[in-house]
Amino acid sequence: MRILYVALTRAKEKLIITGIQKDSEKEIEKLSKEIDRYKKQGDKINPILVKKYKKYLDWILLVYYYDKDKLNDIINLNILNKQSLLKEIKSKEKENVDVLKILEENSINKEKFKKIDEILNYSYPEKTLTIIPTKTSVTNIKLMKNKQELSSDIKELPKPEFLRNEEQEILTGAQKGTLIHLCMQKLDEKQNYDLQKVKELIEDLNKKQIITDKEKENINPYKILEFTKSKIWNELKEAKEIYREKPFYINIPAREIYNEEIEDSILVQGIIDLYYIDKSDNLILVDYKTDYVQNENELINKYKEQLKLYKKALELSYNKKVSKIYIYSTSLEQSIDIIA
């Protein structure tokens, strides 16, 4: 249904749709009876009929015959049978063309040949624009910027559902990191956490079926507890406003992302883990990182471009400077200050 929607909304002026049925008259008669039987529910086609008919052509005909009187001005339905089409093709006279004679009569001189060669081998001056997207994500930009480092990484594709066995599945480091990230987003800054309360939080996520039993077993509660001892957490407890998992869109000049002199802009989208207004009205940006690293410089170098975009998006939105940027590393169990 989504594919059909996309197909029907691409045309700007005129849309031609073709479909084939073995006995169209019989099928349309049958469909008309069904429409009389199942009346519209408000402005919508009866869902019984939508489920009953499976083909694109059937859905289109349902719309047409439900509101035929209203659609006559914008839809033109033609039913052509095989016999009439074949008869029309046979009736057309075949035109005999002497290709050699035409070539002799229209010989091409050097000047014309040169012109044709220029047209065929024309190189578009703004070729770079054809390969640069008009919309991208912060993640894609980060991957592009770190391309050399990532080229040696082994990419792990997710297993299809039918190959997954929850009892046997071993979670990857990335999957465990995602679970830690989820738990940190669910923390309530009004609470005073100890190990037992963190475990209760994890248990509650399991009961609500947000995480599976296997995922629950793979969450290290100590990593989450450590965050509640950080200076970020202490600031959150006194913050005036707190925002988690906020999506954003921002127009960035293409030349800031690609090493090309391009005037166009790119729409960049992303999600900020956490930002808040502290007790002194400072705008603070926080990004959680669950990567396994040996020192803080690894994280700073890997995510500096991403954090620049987050900072720019926040500053444009609030019309004020970001005072502090933090990376909180669950691997190092520490807050890392970035120069704003």
Query: Over the stretch 83-100, which tens digit does the pLDDT of each residue have?
Result: 888 877 776 666 677 766
Q: Which of 21-35, 39-53, 139-153, 249-263 has the lowest mean pLDDT?
A: 139-153
Q: What is the pLDDT of residues 127-185, one digit of tens each?
A: 666 666 666 777 776 666 555 444 434 444 555 554 555 444 678 888 899 999 999 99
Tokens of 72: 């006559």
Among residues of the chain, what percentage have pLDDT more than 70? 81
pLDDT attached to residue 196: 96
Q: At what angle do helices 24-37 and 56-66 cross, to 10 degrees?
A: 60
pLDDT of residue 151: 42
Q: How confident is the model at residue 81 (pLDDT cuts 50, 70, 90)?
A: confident
pLDDT recorded at residue 147: 55
**C-alpha span between 321 and 275 (Å, rounded):** 13
Cα(200)–Cα(221) distance, rounded to whole angstroms?
A: 10
Position 152 scores a pLDDT of 39
The string of pLDDT tens digits covering residues 240-281 is: 999 999 988 888 777 766 666 666 777 888 899 999 999 999
Residue 2: its pLDDT value, please? 85
Query: What interhelical angle do 138-145 and 296-318 show, nearest 10?
Result: 140
Q: Please, which pLDDT band fits residue 66 given cuts at 50, 70 and 90?
A: confident
Q: What is the rounded distance in angstroms from the CA atom of residue 21 to the CA atom of residue 311?
A: 57
pTM of the model: 0.55
Over range 205-230, report the average pLDDT. Answer: 93
Greater model confidence, 293 or 151: 293
Q: Is the pLDDT of residue 70 over 90?
A: no
pLDDT at 267: 80
Higher pLDDT, 130 or 223: 223
Give the range among 39-53, 120-134, 184-198, 300-314 with minimum mean pLDDT: 120-134
- Where residue 222 falls among pLDDT bands split at 50, 70, 90? very high
| pLDDT band at residue 288 using 50, 70 and 90 as cut-offs | very high
- All structural domains of the chain: 2-86 (no CATH), 161-221 (no CATH), 234-338 (3.90.320.10)
Rounded CA-CA distance 251/199 in Å is: 42
| Tokens at 202, concatenated | 């994890």
Measure the CA–CA gap between 113 and 130, rounded to whole angstroms. Answer: 28
Q: Can you give the pLDDT at residue 187?
A: 95
**2: Cβ contacts below 8 Å, ≥ 6 apart:** none
Report the pLDDT value the prediction gives residue 163, as an integer from 0 to 100.
52
Would strands 322-329 and 334-338 be described as parallel, antiparallel, or unpaired?
antiparallel
Range scoring the smallest mean pLDDT among 16-25, 110-119, 267-276, 289-298: 110-119
pLDDT of residue 280: 94
What are φ and ψ of residue 238, in 5° steps?
-110, 5
Tens of pLDDT, residue by residue over 206-215, are 999 899 999 9
Listed ranges 64-78, 114-128, 152-166, 277-291; the one with the highest mean pLDDT = 277-291
Q: What is the pLDDT of residues 302-316, one digit of tens each?
A: 898 889 889 999 998
Contact 255, 123 (CB under 8 A): no
